[in-house]
């Protein structure tokens, strides 16, 4: 029986990818190069440090660890300025309704995100109270596809992994759910997220009935 739903943040609840992209692009431009929107796809669900390393690689730029820390902080400062302007209007279609439906159905809810800024975002869009527990980049050491972030969520909720459904837009996130022995609902295209148990285009296409059929 399904007892809990664990939600990724970027790409599932809100589209913060556009802000990450703007901030990373600004940083790359300051370093004298650019990267494409297609390359940006590879940064979704990926941690801040790993994203920076990928971008520096695309630009053929080498930086010391201290320089990398400074660059990541610079990008994050711009990113935080943008997410501080977020409003409830930026919640993705169906996300609020589905979160409320889960809770009304007696299911537990958790956030499982790679972001260290998840609390700021949830507070800005006004939905922090809809999560029983929040596990994010501040609490985990192993990045997705390691299941750590979702296993910690299940543990905090007091449910077993097999009783959890994870909602994810990134391939590595779907893999993390499967690696943790959980059900995975992919948010996006079935071709990309073929390892998911079910793929929908957004939470507006998700229902409690579909959840129970998993």
Known binding site: residues? 8-10, 24, 43-48, 51, 75, 113-117, 144, 168-169
Question: Strand, helix or coil at 202?
Answer: coil
Asked if 81 is an active-site residue, the reply is no
- Other beta carbons within 10 angstroms of residue 38's beta carbon come to 7
| Residue 45 touching ligand G16 (CB under 6 A) | yes
Select the span of 95-103, 135-143, 144-152, 163-171 touching Mg ion (CB under 5 A): 163-171
Member of 4, 28, 43, 99 binding ligand G16 (CB under 6 A)? 43
Task: Give the residue from 91, 145, 207, 149 showing the smallest Cα distance to 198.
Answer: 207
- For tokens 């609020």, what's the residue? 96
Going by the DSSP 8-state scheme, the letter that residue 144 receives in this structure is T
Window 157-176: contact mask with ligand G16 (x via CB under 6 A):
-------------x------
Site for ligand G16 in 49-68 (CB under 6 A): 51
Query: Cβ(8)–Cβ(112) under 8 Å?
Result: yes
Asked if 136 is an active-site residue, the reply is no
Cα distance between residue 198 and residue 214, in whole Å: 8
Q: How far is the CB of 139 from ligand G16 (least distance, A)?
A: 12
Select the span of 6-14, 100-108, 157-165, 202-210 touching ligand G16 (CB under 6 A): 6-14
Mind giving me the DSSP string for 3-65?
-EEEE-SBTTTB-THHHHHHHHHHHHHHTT----HHHHHTTTT--HHHHHHHHHHHHT----H
| Residue 116 touching ligand G16 (CB under 6 A) | yes
Residues that bind Mg ion (CB under 5 A): 8, 10-11, 45, 169-170
Q: Can you give the binding site for ligand G16, defined by CB under 6 A?
A: 8-11, 17, 20, 43-48, 51, 76, 113-117, 137, 170
């Amino acid at each position: 029986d399904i007892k809990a739903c664990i939600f990724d943040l970027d790409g599932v609840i809100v589209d913060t990818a556009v802000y990450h992209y703007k901030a990373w692009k600004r940083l790359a431009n300051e370093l004298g190069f650019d990267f494409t929107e297609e390359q940006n796809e590879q940064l979704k669900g990926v941690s801040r440090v790993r994203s920076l390393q990928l971008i520096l690689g695309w630009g053929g730029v080498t930086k010391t660890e201290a320089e990398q820390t400074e660059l990541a902080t610079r990008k994050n400062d711009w990113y935080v300025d943008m997410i501080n302007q977020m409003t409830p209007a930026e919640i993705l279609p169906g996300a609020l309704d589905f979160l409320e439906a889960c809770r009304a159905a007696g299911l537990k809810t958790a956030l499982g995100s790679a972001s260290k800024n998840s609390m700021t975002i949830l507070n800005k869009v006004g939905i922090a109270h809809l999560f029983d527990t929040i596990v994010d980049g501040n609490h985990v050491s192993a990045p997705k596809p390691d299941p750590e972030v979702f296993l910690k969520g299940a543990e905090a909720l007091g449910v077993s992994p097999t009783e959890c459904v994870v909602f994810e837009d990134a391939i590595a996130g779907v893999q993390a759910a499967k690696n943790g022995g959980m059900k995975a609902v992919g948010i996006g295209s079935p071709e990309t997220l073929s390892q998911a148990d079910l793929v929908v285009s957004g939470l507006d296409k998700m229902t409690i009935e579909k959840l129970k059929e998993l």
